A and B are shown apart, each in its own frame.
Chain A
Amino acid sequence: MIKEEMRIRSNLPIAQHIFEMKLEGNIPEEVNQPGQFLHMKTTNQVTPLLRRPISICSNDKDKGQLTVIYRSGGQGTKCISEKKIGDTIDVLGPLGNGFNIENVNRTDTVVLAGGGIGVPPLYGLGLELKKKGIHVVSVLGFSTASATFYHDKFAELGEVFYCTMDGTEGHKGTVTDVMRRENISFDQLFACGPVPMLKSLEDTFPDAKGALSLEERMGCGIGACFACVCHVQDDPTGKDYRKVCSNGPVFPWREVALR
């Protein structure tokens, strides 16, 4: 984990309110798993005060570059979206534990299930899986066609099912709906997206192997402040916990309580 001023190489909108940003520095060298994240300072002023957690979408150690994709919604991400090529941005990273693919067999089929702004880290994961020669199927859910992105990139990984809630692109309905309707089977399932999506996947595929990536509001991002804790499943005492920032954000299915 290091803190550095990363140089911005590009920062462009790729869908409605969605930006892709390429950053250069020493952090790419430290990244060891897809699904790790960065804690980004959005300004040098005291407002917005807190860093913003953003997943690493893809990482290139050789070039010392990484890519993030973020939704410009609130105050902090808006500040990030206004940064120009050549500017620097204060980044703490890489943080957390990402997707562990050591237990994925070469002959396995892996489904990447992504929802909205949960899609980006799955792209980096897909690249790593493809490098290992693993069969990848992506099922990507969005609210509407104008919010979709990275069509070509995911197509390079393998078969892709797009779904939108309003049916403006691909299949109409949720990721879980489409997986059921299209009988999409898998040996391992990796997912990132809103909690209701993760919950419906876990309910529909109660024996799934693989992992999910969780979001929670953060303070420190390094495990010190206990802002980001979640409950674990099968814990009658209710006292056990995981910190999303330092134990996660990626957890095996059925480890943490989804609520």
Chain B
Amino acid sequence: MILETKLPGLPMKNPIMPASGCFGFGEEFAKLYDLSQLGSIALKAATAEPRYGNETPRVAETPAGMLNAIGLQNPGVKDIIEKKLTWLEQYQVPLLANVAGSTMEDYENTAKQLADSGLVGAIELNISCPNVKEGGIAFGTDPDLAAELTSRVKKVSSIPVYVKLSPNVTSIVDLALAVEKAGADGLSMINTVTGMQINVNTGKPLLANKVGGLSGPAVKPIAIRMIYEVRQQTDLPIIGMGGIHSVEDVVEFLYAGANAVAIGTANFTNPFICPEIIQGLEQWAKEKKVANIHDVTRSEVVEQ
């Protein structure tokens, strides 16, 4: 009971979930451990039609981080529902379905199909993917567009809608407040930070897409600051992410104001990271005599 976390649409055993795009649809990790241990699973982005994504190289390593420009490769929402979600149902883990698109209609259409499937607990609107040419990123940087998209998706979705915010903005608080007003049930933050790497031997960008999204420990302080700022302005549930590699990182996100956390890049360095952190967090709470993980809140930080 110490770790139980109840968020809109996501009744979780614990506040830990793998982050979207870093866990596929769970099939690979199911060969390594029992997925039913997870609090939730944020699924890889779904689009209305299948997508191939960008050319390779799609990833580059950076100090304490990595850049990616996968380009939302996925088999399309229809296949995802029929093949991936029906398979995932056996684990009885509430699913957070990440939705991406190029137009508002795309988002509405994809979100509605996912909600109507009855197989997911909530929608995560990916308005912050830096790696696709059109749409996506514009919805994530303009508060008016973000609000319009949120309210349109809310209208067609029978389940809660989280909006995944981009850190690539001047004021993330403006975005958070805009989507809150438009009816968002929660926020997830942060998506990757746009970045670039140039191969000094060739003088050319290393990624085929030239730019990509930075993730991993390098972005953690950015995520912590942004969650801390947004928490001062809203009571919406926040799923925090960005560079989490350890139990201490999770606790730091909770102090900043997150209600739950997602773990992305760390799944690549250690495919067992999610269950290890769940165990570690329980241990930590016992050692610190924390009766309930949600007693670890921002209030203690703010008092100072």
Contact = CB atoms under 8 A, between A and B. Distances in A.
Interface in B236-270: 245, 265, 267-270
Interface residues of B, number: 37
A224 B60 contact: no
Interface residues of A, number: 30
A219 to B, nearest CB: 5
Main secondary structure of the interface of B (DSSP, over half): loop
16 contacts: A1-B32, A3-B32, A3-B271, A47-B63, A49-B216, A49-B217, A76-B61, A92-B271, A219-B68, A219-B268, A220-B22, A220-B268, A225-B24, A225-B59, A226-B73, A229-B53
A38 interface: no
A223 interface: yes
Nearest to A231: B52
A220 B268 CA distance: 4
Given A220-B271, A224-B22, A226-B58, 13 more contacts: A3-B270, A3-B272, A46-B64, A49-B66, A50-B61, A50-B269, A217-B56, A217-B57, A222-B271, A225-B24, A225-B268, A226-B53, A241-B52
9 residue pairs, one from A and one from B, having the closest CB atoms? A224-B24, A227-B59, A224-B28, A46-B64, A46-B217, A222-B28, A217-B57, A220-B268, A219-B268
B289 interface: no
A49 B61 contact: yes
B29 interface: yes
A46 B70 CA distance: 22
Interface string A45-89: 011111100000000000000000000000010000000000000
Nearest to B52: A239
Task: Give the interface centre of A3, A76, A239 by most chain B CB atoms within 10 Å.
Answer: A239
Interface of A: 1, 3, 41, 46-51, 76, 92, 216-230, 238-239, 241, 246
A228 B59 CA distance: 8
B265 A49 contact: yes
A155 B151 CA distance: 71
Nearest to A92: B271
A49 B271 contact: no
Contacts of A92: 271
Contacts of A225: 21-22, 24, 59, 68, 70, 268
A113 B21 CA distance: 37
Contacts of B70: 225-227
Contacts of A50: 59, 61, 66, 268-269
